Amino acid sequence: MNAADLVAPLAGGALIGLGAGLLFLLNGRIAGVSGIVGGLFSPKPGEVGWRAAFVGGLLLAGVALPPLLPHAFDNPTNRSYPALIAAGLLVGIGTRLGNGCTSGHGVCGVARLSRRSMAATLTFMAAGGLAATAFGYLMGGTP
């Protein structure tokens, strides 16, 4: 690994932190994606606009970036797309069970020194690592 390999992850992390910080400073809202999306399904008055803009920005970036950075969207895991979709759905279920996601707990909650978020982050990181390792071996190979 060289210094150039660190640029994209560091830039991505900085942008996530900047976006989460701006949402909190300007709107007083936590940038927990699962909570933001969930709020679109049971909207409160005055809550739909900013939530839709946030989710729309995520979707727009997902559509706009592949032509600009095609290598960033490679599938290096050699997993099928149905397996990746199933994994994403399981993550979604986990975020509902854990009352938050990696962005809500891991980025915003840890930054606010929330004990609950720190415990949740440690739990889902450990469980995710164990699950990825176990499924990697069960699927015939290494993760």
- Which amino acid belongs to residue 137? Y
Q: How far apart are CA 93 and CA 91, in angstroms?
A: 5
Give the residue, 74 or 133, on which the prediction is more confident: 133
Per-residue pLDDT, averaged over 41-64, amounts to 91
Q: How far apart are CA 90 and CA 98, in angstroms?
A: 12
In-domain check, residue 27: yes
CB atoms closer than 10 angstroms to residue 5: 8
Per-residue pLDDT, averaged over 69-97, amounts to 79
Helices 81-97 and 33-41, axial angle in degrees (round to 10): 80
Would the pLDDT of 142 be above 60? no
Domain that holds residue 20: 3-138
In-domain check, residue 121: yes
Would the pLDDT of 75 be above 70? no
In-domain check, residue 143: no
Nearest to 77 by CA among 85, 69, 68: 85
Would the pLDDT of 143 be above 60? no
What pTM was computed for the model? 0.73
What is the number of domains present in the chain? 1
DSSP 56: H
In-domain check, residue 88: yes
| Phi, psi of 35, rounded to the nearest 5 degrees | -70, -35
